[in-house]
Structure 1
Amino acid sequence: MMSGERPNVSELLCADNCCLVLIDLQERLLPVIRQGETVLAVCQFLRQAAAIFSVPTLLTEQYPKGLGPVVPALLDGAEDLPRMSKLRFSAAREVLQFLEEQNGVRSVPLTQVCLAGIETHVCVLQTALELRREGLQVFVAADGTGSRFETDRTLGLQRMSAAGVQVVAAESAAFEWCGTAEHPRFRELSQLVRHRGY
């Protein structure tokens, strides 16, 4: 970048334009995910950071009758978060419905989606690619995704990146939502980051 040039802001997450979608972190799915406890902890961090910066958050559940509900730990202190059930692997329909509802009451439209959850190479991947096809800017918090096998996770992230999905770290997302150390809620984010235990 030449001196004095501003970065392309479209490459950064913006709290005013973004929603967070946490995919299928369910009671009967999470225990079989490689490093599932870490994935859950990252998603908890993202949920908390999103709350600090008023980023709307949606939880999805894949066939909850068979796979159980969202794990209670994800809802700790946030029991009123919207949840949508699905049968398709992609959550794109549910995300688009959520965006339509949110945009109906917002002055600034949501044009970015940050994804995390399981499994990386199935539900997260299909959601990301469909949302890209709808013209949305899609980010995936790589450390907040998981699969049963690491190869599947790696290939899923590679395929999303090749399709134009921006692969980020959860902390990157949080600090981009914050934008500046002068943000009035920066101290809350700083405390949240300081107490990450993974």
Structure 2
Amino acid sequence: PVLASEQYPQGLGPTVPALKALLPEQLIISKRTFSCCREPRFMTALTALQRHQIIICGIEAHVCVFQTAADLIARGYQVQAVVDAISARTAANKSIGLKRIQQIGGCLSSVESCIFELLETSAGPEFKSILTLIK
């Protein structure tokens, strides 16, 4: 399952069209709070999924991504931050955000690591499909 958020799209602009096209409209939750966890619609949707392991990505590693990760960890979720799917306006801010996530108990990972963890085996047809994407 996927949940997505947009930080104040009226002022900062909406999710980029290429990404938005991959997500059902109802899964994109607009917010003004930096942490997704402080947006009631997000927490309602997350709770309904009944998942305890969260893969997180996004922009502004040191602000929205970090604050969301911190709130999720405080609520007992296991958080995996996907380093190559997280950004910030500066390399220093990205580094600081990721270090802080790790310091509070989050796990750092890569897109490829996440993919293979989710697949668990090369035996299924999904493996061949994924190989064409990552080669």
TM-score (norm. length: structure 1): 0.63
How far 1:192 moved relative to its partner?
1.6
Q: Which amino acid aligns with 2:35?
A: S
More helix by share: 2
- Give 1:153's aligned residue: 94
Query: Would you identify which runs of 4 or more consecutive aligned residues in structure 1 move more than 3 Å?
Result: none
**Greater relative contact order (Cα 8 A, min sep 6): structure 1 or 2?**
1
Matches for 1:118-137 after TM superposition, within 5 Å: 118-137=59-78
- Give 1:7's aligned residue: none
The alignment-based identity, stated in percent, is: 38
How far 1:102 moved relative to its partner?
2.4
TM-score (norm. length: structure 2): 0.91
- Give 1:52's aligned residue: none
Q: List gaps (5 residues or longer) in structure 2.
A: none
Deviations 1:43-84 (A, max 9, x none): xxxxxxxxxxxxx111101111111110001133x2425110
- Give 2:46's aligned residue: 99
Deviations 1:158-185 (A, max 9, x none): 1110111000011100110001111341
CA distance in 2, matches of 1:60, 1:167: 21
Note if contact 2:3-2:46 (Cα within 8 Å) is conserved in structure 1. no
In the alignment of these two chains, the number of paired residues is: 132
- Give 1:35's aligned residue: none
RMSD across aligned positions (CA) = 1.4
Over 3 Å counting, the alpha-carbon distance change for 1:123 and 1:79 in structure 2 is closer
2:30 is the alignment partner of 1:85: yes
Note if contact 2:57-2:83 (Cα within 8 Å) is conserved in structure 1. yes
Q: List gaps (5 residues or longer) in structure 1.
A: 1-55, 104-109
Matches for 1:1-198 after TM superposition, within 5 Å: 56-76=1-21, 78-80=22-24, 82-94=27-39, 95-103=42-50, 110-194=51-135
Q: Which amino acid aligns with 2:32?
A: L
SS at match of 1:152: helix
CA distance in 1, matches of 2:61, 2:72: 15
Structure showing greater radius of gyration is 1
